[in-house]
Structure 1
Amino acid sequence: MRRRAAICAPLAAPLILLPARLRAQDAFPARPITVLSGYAPGGVTDITSRAVAERMGRELGVPLVVENRAGAATAVANTAAAQARPDGYTLLMGTSTLAINPALQPGLTPKDPMRDLAPIGMVFRTAFVLHVHPSVPAGSTAELIAWCKANPGKLNFGSSGTGAVNHLAQALFARRAGIEVTHVPYKGGAPALLDLRAGRIQAMFQAVLEALPSLKDGGTRGLAISSAEGSALLPDLPPVAAALPGFDVVFWQGLFAPAGTPAPLIGRLEAALAAATADSDLRARLAASGVALTTGDAAALRQVLADETAMWGALIRETGIRAE
């Protein structure tokens, strides 16, 4: 009997271990999941992260706890996520900065988000409105471009900071239009808007929700929307692409896991995210804040990250933009 047991033991061991591994994956998630965010509490990105995480938690049966780790152009949160254990319990609400930082600030980590992070799916896209001071003699994007060509360097174009997406939108706009403008960076969108209303700067790409009050009271005049699909909050404004074909700039957010996270876990998270971003009540609630939830799987997010890393990297190198 002892001899028979010794012979059978090597064959029996794998039959015991394999179901145990399967049971561990089937049990996921068995505890709360941490979702890292590179932004401070209270902004649109944070509000959206919490709303989507709450909805995903209902789908998965465990809480998804958003943890704000602001700093270093979101690199603090990005790095922590990339270095976390790839077990599905630490995720990242990554944004456009993942595509910008490698070229703008190559000293930050992760240096290669395509390698160090595993995409799960898209969360949202939000556009910018191109608006100007009422003194600018242009009622459309084409007229603004014509005025800038006739007055090179005279248009002061504000942004919320060097390397911010709205700064890169301005740089791409100027390059595609073949115009020369003067970039004036600020520490945030609010002080830039104050100077735009006062006429100290003349133009700016700004998040639609932030610009709405000024557009409504006539403090500024909207010309166009940065995204190719326009904006539901400003349906009368055409896309910039109507004057500059192919122009499509948005701030986006997507959900990532550390590289090496098992595919079955990514699949569970991807399905929960898809259910959250397709939720009609959640979509309507966030649309009122200018956020368009986007249903896009892991492959779609991977493509967005790849495309924008190439686009912003080329623009930053060609124009010599440097972080301050």
Structure 2
Amino acid sequence: MTSRRALIAASIALPAVPRSVAAQEGWPSRAVAVLLGYPPGGVTDFAARAVTERMGRALGQTLVLENRPGAATAVANTAAAQARPDGYTLLMGTSTLAINPALQPTLTPRDPQTALTPIGTVFRTAFVLHVHPSLPVRSTAELIAYAKANPGKLNFGSSGTGAVNHLCLELFRARAGIDVVHVPYRGGPAALLDLRENRIQGMFNAVQEALPAVQAGATRGIAISSKDRAAAVPDLPPIADVLPGFDGVFWQGLFGPAGLPAPIVARAGAALREATTDPDLTTRMAAQGVALVSGDAEALRRMLAEETEMWGRLIREQNIRAE
């Protein structure tokens, strides 16, 4: 009887482990939904699928990528921001999180920096600045000089007003002090087709999209928009060589809802780093012009803040309005 009383007393004395803490320590115990604001196909979907598959192996659970396109990625972004912060709904967020607050302030979440919890960086991909071969320019300096000598005569396409390749054009136009005409399209393929046909004279395209046209001689690569050279197009110099500090890229990062517990952030971040430093995956992505980046939660938080400020300032100064 004494021993039984002692056992009961001991069990009462032991502190109870909160259910939420136990759940955090056991995360993930089931499949995790990872939302993406883009349709299947394209570099964003391709990279997200490869990274989430590799993360799933590290975590010992399935990560299910769910494509939820719409409203400039706001459909997926909002669903993730409104999800329970239990780690079972995450978001492959992109540059649109830094662009939408200034370009389309009515879209939710209105302040991604407070509505979401950064987990880690996934990738950066630069844009190729390329022109029709009939244009007598072969470098950034020559393109700027030609545009200044022919103000308002060059048409540059984009995949749509407010798209990152459009903002790269606006940044280039502002920094170079040139007057070129922006021609927005509904998607990159239509713009690229018109560039091939010389109906427009230039544009910024993601490396993966521009490479076939450049290699076929249908367009001429001039420069790369990132501050460093891209492995897939090592011969293209950065625009920053002529316009110091120029750095316009499309990026992807992994987020959770606001209030995501630190243990889950740490575990998800560790699995993400395993994926973004995997040698085979890194090589495969580099061949597509995608540079995997193994930054932690703080690196992603800082990048989102810096790009929100950079693109927001450009959008306001150039009076850019969504279509």
TM bracket, shorter-chain basis: over 0.9
**Partner Cα distance (1:170, 1:252) in 2:** 17
Q: Residue 107 of structure 1 corresponds to which residue in structure 2? A: 106
**Partner Cα distance (1:270, 1:115) in 2:** 19
Deviation at 1:282, TM superposition (A): 1.1
Q: Residue 280 of structure 1 corresponds to which residue in structure 2? A: 279
Q: Residue 177 of structure 1 corresponds to which residue in structure 2? A: 176
Q: Which amino acid aligns with 1:321?
A: I
Q: Which amino acid aligns with 2:296?
A: D
Change (3 A) 1:21 1:201: closer
SS in 1 for 2:16: helix
Query: 8 Å contact 2:232–2:288 — kept in the other structure?
Result: no
Deviation at 1:22, TM superposition (A): 4.0
Q: Which amino acid aligns with 2:217?
A: G
Query: 8 Å contact 2:227–2:239 — kept in the other structure?
Result: yes
**Partner Cα distance (2:137, 2:19) in 1:** 68
Deviation at 1:281, TM superposition (A): 1.1
Q: Which amino acid aligns with 1:316?
A: I
Q: Which amino acid aligns with 2:199?
A: R
Q: Residue 252 of structure 1 corresponds to which residue in structure 2? A: 251
**Partner Cα distance (2:237, 2:206) in 1:** 15
Q: Residue 125 of structure 1 corresponds to which residue in structure 2? A: 124
Deviation at 1:288, TM superposition (A): 2.0
Query: 8 Å contact 2:130–2:203 — kept in the other structure?
Result: yes
SS in 1 for 2:273: helix
Deviation at 1:132, TM superposition (A): 0.5
1:254-310 residue CA offsets vs partner (Å, 9 max, x unmatched):
000000011111011011101110111111122222211111100111111000000
Identical-residue share of aligned pairs (%): 69
1:20-50 residue CA offsets vs partner (Å, 9 max, x unmatched):
5543322111111000000001221111111
**Partner Cα distance (1:291, 1:139) in 2:** 24
Q: Residue 262 of structure 1 corresponds to which residue in structure 2? A: 261
Aligned Cα RMSD in Å? 1.7
1:188-232 residue CA offsets vs partner (Å, 9 max, x unmatched):
111101111111110100011111111112111111000011111
Q: Residue 75 of structure 1 corresponds to which residue in structure 2? A: 74
Q: Which amino acid aligns with 2:151?
A: P
Q: Which amino acid aligns with 2:79?
A: A
**Partner Cα distance (1:33, 1:69) in 2:** 15
1:67-87 residue CA offsets vs partner (Å, 9 max, x unmatched):
110000000000000000001
Q: Which amino acid aligns with 1:61?
A: G
Q: Which amino acid aligns with 1:242?
A: D
Query: 8 Å contact 2:37–2:77 — kept in the other structure?
Result: yes
Q: Residue 291 of structure 2 corresponds to which residue in structure 1? A: 292
Q: Residue 15 of structure 2 corresponds to which residue in structure 1? A: 16
Structure 2 unaligned spans of 5+: none
**Partner Cα distance (2:137, 2:38) in 1:** 35
Deviation at 1:18, TM superposition (A): 3.0
Q: Residue 309 of structure 2 corresponds to which residue in structure 1? A: 310
SS in 2 for 1:224: strand
**Partner Cα distance (2:165, 2:299) in 1:** 23
Query: 8 Å contact 2:157–2:182 — kept in the other structure?
Result: yes
Q: Which amino acid aligns with 1:71?
A: G
The TM-score with structure 2 as length reference comes to: 0.95
